[in-house]
Amino acid sequence: MGHLYKPFKERVEAGEDPEKVLDDLGVKRYCCRRTLYTSIAYSESVSKYSIMRIVRARELERGGNI
């Protein structure tokens, strides 16, 4: 799995469809597909919607600490 992370990430960031990239890389099992698709890099892009990040940002705007 580790050897597929970099090519997967590069191709998806270049605009390719993740599903097709996984197919091209030969990743067939759903557990392996999930592992690559939900890697930390993609979790970070989703985490910007986390309520704790929103609360912290608002606190920092007010000059406070959490």
Tens-of-pLDDT digits for all 66 residues of the chain?
889 989 998 998 899 998 999 999 999 998 999 888 887 666 666 666 677 777 888 888 888 665
Could you give the angle at which helices 30-37 and 2-13 cross, rounded to 10 degrees? 60
Whether 30 is covered by a domain: the verdict is: yes
What's the confidence (pLDDT) of residue 44?
Answer: 67
pTM: 0.60
Whether 46 is covered by a domain: the verdict is: yes
d(CA 15, CA 21) in angstroms, rounded, equals: 10
Whether 66 is covered by a domain: the verdict is: no
What is the domain count for the chain?
1
CATH number for the domain harbouring residue 26:
1.10.10.60
20-45: burial string, b at 16+ Cβ within 10 Å, e else: ebbeebebeeeeebeebbeeeeeeee
What's the confidence (pLDDT) of residue 38?
Answer: 81
